[in-house]
């Protein structure tokens, strides 16, 4: 049976859900209390964070018909309320994150890459640790060097104790301490983290690429728009000109090329005509000789 305190909490959460147009789902798993206080301070003007029991969150979402957010309620969830743009909020959250060393059992937030080149480590047992982790290493002077770029763990995979120790020795801090924003609800639309945290530059790049592809398609299929009219006219002119030249149709634009084409063809034919004329004369003479002989025989 739900206690009076829980009922009051549920009522308060439901009311708050109605006050804000943008609702975020957070996963607070392994977020230190110190960092949470700092983040709350940074987001004071942007958002409100409420940490409540998972069951209360689910009941509140059901009551407000926001069940599309249920699948993002995992581990240690919290609600984020804001009147800010979801993408602006995501950018603020991303900037508030800080780097931290990995511990055994941590989940890699992204692919962890060890770059080729010298390290700060002197020769010693650590070279064996690197090789056991399939990191190609060698002694280069007074330091250990990594032979080639190596991805030691992929996004979503668990970091082993041995790898965490090596990463710390190499000064690599792959973990991010900060709010883990799983999804955001706005006007019935759910934006997941893989959409929220796409860099602005990537959006601009995709828009420009889409515009270029659409423009090229409209040119190729002859679909007329305000933007492509000059290009379509230019294309039509070039194609008409090429057709007229191929068909030998004289126009103001083609007459020069047609005359030159005729001149070039005449030059090619000229040597052939000269060689054929003597042959024709000889053949004619041969044909005329028998006729003369027959006349002489008749006269005799």
Looking at residue 244, what is its pLDDT?
84
Whether 129 is covered by a domain: the verdict is: yes
State whether 88 and 226 are in the same domain. Answer: no
Whether 290 is covered by a domain: the verdict is: no
State whether 68 and 29 are in the same domain. Answer: yes
Looking at residue 217, what is its pLDDT?
92
Whether 296 is covered by a domain: the verdict is: no
Provide the residue-wise pLDDT of the chain in tens; the chain has 300 residues.
Answer: 458 888 899 999 999 999 999 999 999 887 888 888 888 888 888 889 999 999 999 999 999 999 999 999 988 999 999 998 998 888 888 887 888 899 899 889 889 999 999 998 998 888 889 988 999 999 888 899 999 999 999 988 999 999 999 999 999 999 888 888 999 999 999 999 888 888 778 878 889 999 999 999 998 888 888 888 998 888 888 888 888 888 888 888 888 888 888 787 788 887 777 666 565 555 555 555 555 555 444 444
Q: How many residues does the chain have?
A: 300
Query: To which residue do tokens 């508030």 refer?
Result: 96
Whether 162 is covered by a domain: the verdict is: yes
State whether 81 and 188 are in the same domain. Answer: yes
Whether 258 is covered by a domain: the verdict is: no
Looking at residue 263, what is its pLDDT?
82
Looking at residue 163, what is its pLDDT?
93
Whether 271 is covered by a domain: the verdict is: no
Q: Which tokens is 81 given?
A: 């309320």
How many domains does the structure of the chain reveal? 3
- For residue 10, the domain's CATH number is 3.30.70.1730
Cβ-proximal residues to 253 (8 Å cutoff; 6+ apart), any chain:
241, 244
Looking at residue 36, what is its pLDDT?
85
Q: Which three-class secondary structure state does DSSP give residue 226?
A: coil
State whether 209 and 240 are in the same domain. Answer: yes
Alpha helices in the chain (DSSP H): 4-19, 33-42, 54-63, 86-96, 126-132, 161-169, 193-196, 200-221, 229-247, 255-299
State whether 52 and 141 are in the same domain. Answer: no
State whether 188 and 71 are in the same domain. Answer: yes
State whether 123 and 233 are in the same domain. Answer: no
Cβ-proximal residues to 95 (8 Å cutoff; 6+ apart), any chain:
none
User: What span, in angstroms and rounded, lies between the C-alpha atoms of 140 and 259?
Assistant: 74
Looking at residue 279, what is its pLDDT?
57
Domain enclosing residue 86, as ranges: 4-97+178-198
Q: Of the residues 132, 164, 198, which one is the last residue of a structural domain?
A: 198
State whether 29 and 132 are in the same domain. Answer: no
Cβ-proximal residues to 170 (8 Å cutoff; 6+ apart), any chain:
114, 119, 120, 121
Whether 276 is covered by a domain: the verdict is: no
């Amino acid at each position: 049976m739900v206690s009076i305190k829980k009922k009051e909490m549920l009522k308060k959460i439901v009311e708050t859900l109605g006050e804000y147009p943008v609702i975020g789902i957070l996963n607070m798993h392994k977020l230190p209390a110190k960092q949470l206080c700092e983040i709350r301070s940074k987001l004071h003007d942007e958002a409100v964070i409420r940490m409540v029991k998972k069951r209360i969150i689910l009941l509140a979402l059901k009551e407000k018909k926001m069940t599309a957010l249920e699948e993002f309620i995992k581990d240690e969830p919290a609600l984020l309320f804001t009147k800010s743009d979801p993408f602006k909020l995501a950018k603020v959250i991303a900037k508030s994150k800080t780097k931290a060393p990995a511990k055994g059992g941590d989940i890699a937030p992204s692919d962890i890459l060890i770059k080729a080149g010298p390290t700060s480590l002197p020769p010693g047992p650590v070279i064996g640790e690197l090789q056991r982790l399939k990191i190609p290493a060698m002694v280069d002077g007074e330091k250990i060097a990594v032979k080639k770029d190596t991805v030691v763990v992929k996004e979503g995979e668990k970091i082993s104790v041995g790898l965490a120790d090596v990463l710390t020795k190499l000064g690599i801090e792959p973990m991010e301490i900060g709010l883990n924003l799983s999804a955001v609800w706005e006007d019935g639309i759910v934006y997941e983290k893989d959409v929220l945290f796409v860099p602005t530059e990537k959006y601009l790049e995709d828009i420009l690429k889409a515009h270029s592809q659409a423009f090229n398609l409209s040119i190729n299929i002859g679909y007329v728009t305000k933007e492509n009219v000059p290009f379509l006219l230019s294309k039509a002119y070039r194609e008409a000109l090429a057709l007229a030249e191929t068909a030998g149709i004289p126009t103001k634009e083609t007459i020069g090329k047609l005359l030159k084409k005729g001149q070039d063809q005449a030059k090619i034919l000229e040597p052939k005509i000269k060689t054929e004329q003597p042959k024709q004369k000889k053949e004619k003479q041969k044909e005329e000789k028998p006729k003369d002989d027959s006349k002489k025989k008749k006269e005799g």
